[in-house]
Amino acid sequence: MTPIRTLVLGDMQAPLDTLLAVLDRHGALAGDTLRAGVHLVSVGDHVDFGDDPERAATEGERVLDWMAAQAPERLTLLLGNHDAARVMEFAGWSDARFSAARIGARAVHALPAGAARDAAEAAFRACHPGVPTLDLVRRDYAGYTEGQAARIAGLLRAGRMRLAATVRDADGRALLVTHAGVTRRELELLVGGGWLDPACADDAVAVAASLERFLDAALRRWEEPAAPAHPLDLAPLYLAGVPGQEAGGLLYHRPATDDDALRPKMDRAWELDPTRPRRYAPARLPRGFSQVCGHTPHARAWRELVGFTDGPMGSGGAVRTLVVGAAPRYVARRLPPAGPGEAHVYYVDAQPAHTPVAEVEAFEA
């Protein structure tokens, strides 16, 4: 039997041809299909990139179609916040409705700060009351289409898009793989909700299984009779955006220094909202197991992990490591497996739409 070679990549927000070029460079393709003996784990966020929403819309559908066509034993798909937005914040939105909101949000954004802009934003919110923030429709999720939403819903309902997986580190230990990582907050919620045995909260395989049970229960609720376009609900682990407020939690948070002296411009109330955090300090990460996740591009991590960065900045396409332990540090390379009393978080968001193909590394398990 051909040994399985596992690659973890994220976030695959790029034209399909770019993604195929990345996979081909890593020897993962036979033609335009994943090669036998290769198992790809895509850590979520398969839609939205760049400044051209029409191109991003079309390419997002192509990427999702390609992924749906791969054999389940060769591809594990994880849910990211951009994927989730299609079945949560914007569940049931038509292309026409989203396009009108995007055009309106861009018009408001183009105005200088002042009374005229405030009035324009108030008028926008009256016309589009379901929009969490203007930036989500004008920029972050600008490539939305009904087709993407239908494809993501289909992948979720078919069991092809999940919340968690596990792979092995170089020493054989299991690593938890999620879109944005798991902090002690999520472990506490899983234990408190009866999804996770507290005695197993330091076991990556048990944590992954608890996240899968949580998702399956949410998917069953999603199938219950409800109003048309009933959104998926992943609370309390992940809270979708609501009018005037972005999403937060499991699929959304990023590592950042929480020391006001080191990062004086941080917005503590917004970043560290306990119900829907958008950032987490390294101290909030569990030490019982190591993880692989995406969601955090290198330049942002380097800027927000001030005080923890170590060594040269390196390439944005590299697999990076945040060491969790007595002396946390963030380096622009993959480190060997964690030592006693430590854990690692390996970040694999290489931004393939903006990074030369030759510089996009994969985490090989």
Comparing C-alpha atoms, which of 254, 268, 284 is closest to residue 187?
284
pLDDT tens readout for residues 23-36: 999 999 999 999 99
The end-to-end CA distance of the chain, in Å, is 18
Comparing C-alpha atoms, which of 212, 214, 210, 203 is closest to residue 174?
203
The percentage of the chain sitting over the pLDDT mark of 70, rounded to a whole number, equals 98
Predicted local confidence at residue 59, as pLDDT: 96
> Would strands 363-364 and 5-9 be described as parallel, antiparallel, or unpaired?
antiparallel
- Residue 10 β-bridge partners: 349
Residue pair 185/284 in contact (Cβ under 8 Å)? The answer is: yes
pTM, to two decimals: 0.96
CA distance 126 to 216: 36
Q: Is the predicted pLDDT of residue 345 greater than 80, yes or no?
A: yes
Q: Is the predicted pLDDT of residue 3 greater than 90, yes or no?
A: no
pLDDT tens readout for residues 168-222: 999 999 999 999 999 999 999 999 999 999 999 999 999 999 999 999 999 999 9
Tokens of 69: 């066509």
CA distance 95 to 101: 10
Q: CA-based angle 361:141:65, to the nearest 5?
A: 65
pLDDT tens readout for residues 73-118: 999 999 999 999 999 999 999 999 999 999 999 999 999 999 999 9
pLDDT tens readout for residues 74-83: 999 999 999 9
CA distance 160 to 72: 7
